[in-house]
């Protein structure tokens, strides 16, 4: 790495350790060499417009412009011994592939959106209520998902920045950041956000599942794969609700925090974390796993000392969380056993699908944490002790694969949650003797699925991977999960997000260049400080301050997993 000479050199990164970037796209490596590869797949940079670099200008360029890569028509008609430059030929094919992916993603997303609106309008949703109510719930869920995803990016990007300079220009954002910077409120927000994200997904599944809708003469197998697995809802939520808000928030986090409703969503996340229902049963499972299937020599982090009153309150939360989660789990098992699920499979098929979803979701959640924790560690240090983890990290840190994994994982997490809901929605299940409103609030809105998925699949995997990332990645199945996510990102299913984001930036979310310059200047200053510290310590790590994603434990302390500064918190559903 070149020495610092008064100018921050933190904008360059080695291609082998490139995470998902929020503070600007990669330009040069530490030696000043250009890292761009013409035959790479499209790189998804949350701070880059789709018209730049690999992506076609304006999303739908004229195909005739591509032929300029080969010269004029007269040039093409020259004698056969005049060969076309292979590099230009690769660029041409790459651009065609990119154009095809944007077209496929746009057509698929808009078709699925039309299908969902048609199903809601014709009253086919499994959630009881009039179509107008279902439509309002659908819009509300999309908006809330957008807030939750965008707030995570914005808060993690600005939590170390002083809000005083925005006190007058961004009054709502100033109020929100001031609240977040108090105590462990960032951790509280992240835990509450995780519950609300999974709950909103389950509620969305209630209004976008239409078991009795007409198949329009489509083959049952095709209908099952592309409709009944929950793929329509997953694609629409990923492209319109999730990734769009992340892109906008990464562009201008202050403006996103200043939106009306952001502070109210923050308060909702605080309230969810206070109850303890979301986390305490998960900590019981983690204790069991550490003594059975995940035995590690690394000790857990010490717990904070509590008073007698605090210990009694914690014990009550453990009991309440255990009773609620186990009751909901028993309800789900009973519904599947009695063949009440809307997924058109026999009981054993639904059980196997649900179990597979939980395993896949655990791998996706844990692998994200493990890769971000180990990203800046030399794989040679654990090549012998953890051979499968070594092979996985060599693949993950190759070129832009960390970034591609996180995007592919984002889509897969949402899709699996929708598939889980197809296994756990029971519209015909009898609930005689229970008040209709009580049943609607406690069961039909999706709380059983949300809490069960969160406590059995998501939180334990994240915290165990944080405890021993190498052991987690050395387990069978982790490498396959990485490959599937990379393949999913390469298909471009979520590319319609950039079309929607471009429209948003041209209408209601106009980007102020001055604000962006201030953010980049702040990040460069912080990175330069971190780089000087690392040079003084004679380390070889890439410069940059570390960013964290935190999950609070039951006693209020935080379990931290550290990644690079520009990989903070994307991809979590």
Per residue in 22-74, pLDDT (tens digit) is: 333 343 344 444 444 444 443 434 444 444 444 333 332 332 332 232 333 33
Asked if pLDDT for residue 158 goes beyond 60, the answer is: yes
**Pick from 26-40, 115-129, 323-337, 385-399: least confident:** 26-40
In this structure, are residues 157 and 150 in contact, taking their beta carbons and an 8 Å threshold?
no
Residue bearing tokens 């229902």: 277
pLDDT computed for residue 160 by the predictor: 80
**Pick from 17-21, 141-145, 429-433: least confident:** 17-21
Which residue, 4, 28, 46, is CA-closest to 494?
A: 46
Per residue in 86-101, pLDDT (tens digit) is: 556 678 888 888 888 8
DSSP 8-state code for residue 534: H
Average pLDDT, the chain: 77
- Residue 153's pLDDT band, with cuts at 50, 70 and 90, is confident
β-bridge mates for residue 34, sequence order: 28
pLDDT computed for residue 566 by the predictor: 37
Asked if pLDDT for residue 261 goes beyond 90, the answer is: yes
Per residue in 524-558, pLDDT (tens digit) is: 544 444 444 443 444 333 333 333 444 444 344 34
- Residue 382's pLDDT band, with cuts at 50, 70 and 90, is very high
Per residue in 273-331, pLDDT (tens digit) is: 887 777 788 888 888 888 888 888 777 666 667 778 878 888 888 899 999 999 999 99
Residue bearing tokens 């890439």: 542
d(CA 408, CA 404) in angstroms, rounded, equals 6
Three-state SS at 28: strand
CA 93 vs CA 98, 101, 221, 356: distances in Å: 9, 12, 33, 37
- Average of pLDDT values for 546-572? 39
Asked if pLDDT for residue 432 goes beyond 70, the answer is: yes
The helix (run of H) or strand (run of E) holding residue 98 is helix 86-121
What is the CA angle 7-11-14, rounded to 5? 120
Give the other-Cβ count within 10 Å of 292's Cβ: 8
- Average of pLDDT values for 244-270? 91
pLDDT computed for residue 535 by the predictor: 39
pLDDT computed for residue 5 by the predictor: 37
- Specify the pTM: 0.73
């Amino acid at each position: 790495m070149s020495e610092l000479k008064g100018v921050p050199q933190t904008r360059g990164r080695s291609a082998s350790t490139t995470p998902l970037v929020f503070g600007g796209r990669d330009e040069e490596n530490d030696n000043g060499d250009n890292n761009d590869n013409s035959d790479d797949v499209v790189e998804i940079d949350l701070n880059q417009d789709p018209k730049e670099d690999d992506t076609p200008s304006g999303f739908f360029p004229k195909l005739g412009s591509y032929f300029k890569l080969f010269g004029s028509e007269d040039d093409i008609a020259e004698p056969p011994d005049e060969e076309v430059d292979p590099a230009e030929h690769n660029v041409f094919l790459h651009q065609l592939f990119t154009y095809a992916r944007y077209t496929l993603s746009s057509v698929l997303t808009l078709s699925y959106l039309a299908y969902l609106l048609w199903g809601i309008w014709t009253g086919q949703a499994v959630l009881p209520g009039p179509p107008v109510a279902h439509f309002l719930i659908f819009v509300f869920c999309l908006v809330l998902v957008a807030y939750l995803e965008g707030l995570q990016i914005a808060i993690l990007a600005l939590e170390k920045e002083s809000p005083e300079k925005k006190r007058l220009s961004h009054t709502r954002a100033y109020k929100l950041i001031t609240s977040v910077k108090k105590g462990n409120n960032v951790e509280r927000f992240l835990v509450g956000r995780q519950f609300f994200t999974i709950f909103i997904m389950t509620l969305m599944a209630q209004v976008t599942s239409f078991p009795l809708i007409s198949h329009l003469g489509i083959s049952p197998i095709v209908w099952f794969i592309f409709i009944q697995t929950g793929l329509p809802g997953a694609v629409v939520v990923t492209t319109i609700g999730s990734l769009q808000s992340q892109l906008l928030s990464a562009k201008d986090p202050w403006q996103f925090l200043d939106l009306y409703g952001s502070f109210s969503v923050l308060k909702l996340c605080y309230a969810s974390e206070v109850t303890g229902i979301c986390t305490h049963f998960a900590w019981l499972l983690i204790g069991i796993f550490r003594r059975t299937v995940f035995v590690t020599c690394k000790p857990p982090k010490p717990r904070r000392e509590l008073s007698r009153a605090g210990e009694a309150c914690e014990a009550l939360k453990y009991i309440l969380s255990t009773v609620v989660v186990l009751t909901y789990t028993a309800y789900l098992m009973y519904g599947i056993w009695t063949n009440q699920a809307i997924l058109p499979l026999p009981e054993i098929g639904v059980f196997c699908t649900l179990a597979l979803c939980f395993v896949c979701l655990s791998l996706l959640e844990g692998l994200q944490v493990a890769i971000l924790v180990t990203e800046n560690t030399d794989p040679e240090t654990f090549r012998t002790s953890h051979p499968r983890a070594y092979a996985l990290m060599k693949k993950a840190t190759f070129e832009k694969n960390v970034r591609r994994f996180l995007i592919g994982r984002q889509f897969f997490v949402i899709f699996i949650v929708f598939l889980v809901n197809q296994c756990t929605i029971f519209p015909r299940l009898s609930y005689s003797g229970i008040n209709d409103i009580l049943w609607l609030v406690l069961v039909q809105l999706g709380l059983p699925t949300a809490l069960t998925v969160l406590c059995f699949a998501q939180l334990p995997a994240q915290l165990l991977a944080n405890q021993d990332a190498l052991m987690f990645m050395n387990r069978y199945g982790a490498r396959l999960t990485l490959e599937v996510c990379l393949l999913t990102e390469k298909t471009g299913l979520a590319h319609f997000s950039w079309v929607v984001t471009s429209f948003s930036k041209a209408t209601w979310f106009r980007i102020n260049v001055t604000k962006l310059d201030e953010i980049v200047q702040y990040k460069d200053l912080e990175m330069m400080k971190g780089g000087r510290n690392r040079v003084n310590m004679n380390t070889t790590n890439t410069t940059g301050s570390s960013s964290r994603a935190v999950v609070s434990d039951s006693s209020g302390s935080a379990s931290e997993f550290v990644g690079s500064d520009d990989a903070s918190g994307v991809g979590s559903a």
